[in-house]
Amino acid sequence: MKTKAVFYHAGCPVCVDAEQNVAAALDASRFDVEIVHLGVSGNRIGDAAAAGVKSVPALVIGESVYHINHGADLSALG
């Protein structure tokens, strides 16, 4: 069974770069990667906050949060 990974972003240049170079680099045979644009899918901001996301871009793998560089604080997206 694949591990769930969610990449949260907000369309910012830092986010897009991380999506193309980090999220896309994950091993698709082991990870089921979902890309969530919080600017478009604002209803997912609660999920991101609950997972521990403080800023985007962020990658949630299983129950662990990895903030990758810094594009925008989650609080600025709400």
Q: Which residues bind a copy of itself (CB under 8 A)?
A: 5, 17-18, 21-22, 25-31, 59, 61-62, 64-69
Distance separating alpha carbons of residues 61 and 27, to the nearest angstrom: 12
Cβ nearer to a copy of itself, comparing 30 with 40:
30
Q: Locate 73 and state its tokens.
A: 């604080």
For tokens 């193309």, what's the residue? 20
What is the nearest approach in angstroms of a copy of itself to the Cβ of residue 12?
14
Cα–Cα distance, 57 to 14 (Å, whole number) = 7
Q: In terms of CB distance, is 18 or 45 closer to a copy of itself?
A: 18
Tell whether the torsion through CA atoms of 20, 22, 34 and 77 is positive or negative: negative
Closest to a copy of itself by CB, 43 vs 62, is 62
Cβ 43 to a copy of itself shortest distance, Å: 26
